[in-house]
Amino acid sequence: MKWRTESKKSNYGNGDGTVNLRSLSVCKQWDSDNNSGYQVNTTVLDGADHMGILNDDRTIELIKNIIFK
């Protein structure tokens, strides 16, 4: 068995500081045909990080608008 001797490299891409943008964008591929008939809307909140989004006023407003519409 041979072990790798070269150092491993990490490649960082765009995203929210925790999840890569490519993974964050997967839900944009969902539509009513492949989501049990439910409509999916996506919203980009510029400057929001992965955990901070939970306390972001824009997130709260979006959720309230969905619940109370």
10 inside domain: no
Phi-psi region of 68 (alpha: psi -120 to 50; beta: other; left: phi over 0): alpha
30 falls within a domain: yes
Asked if residue 13 belongs to a domain, the reply is: no
CB 14 within 8 A of CB 21: yes
Q: Which residue has the higher pLDDT, 43 or 32?
A: 43
The answer to whether position 7 is within a domain reads: no
Task: Please tell me the distance from the alpha carbon of residue 50 to that of residue 69, in angstroms, as a whole number.
Answer: 26
Q: Is the pTM of this model over 0.95?
A: no
Q: Which domain holds residue 27?
A: 21-67
Q: Is residue 9 part of a domain?
A: no
The answer to whether position 16 is within a domain reads: no
The one-letter amino acid at 28: K
Query: For 48-63, how does the pLDDT look when each residue is reduced to its tens digit (9 = 90+)?
Result: 888 889 999 999 999 9
Domain tally, the chain = 1
Q: Is residue 51 part of a domain?
A: yes
CA distance 12 to 68: 39
Give every CB contact of residue 59 below 8 A, 6+ residues apart in sequence. Answer: 45, 48, 53
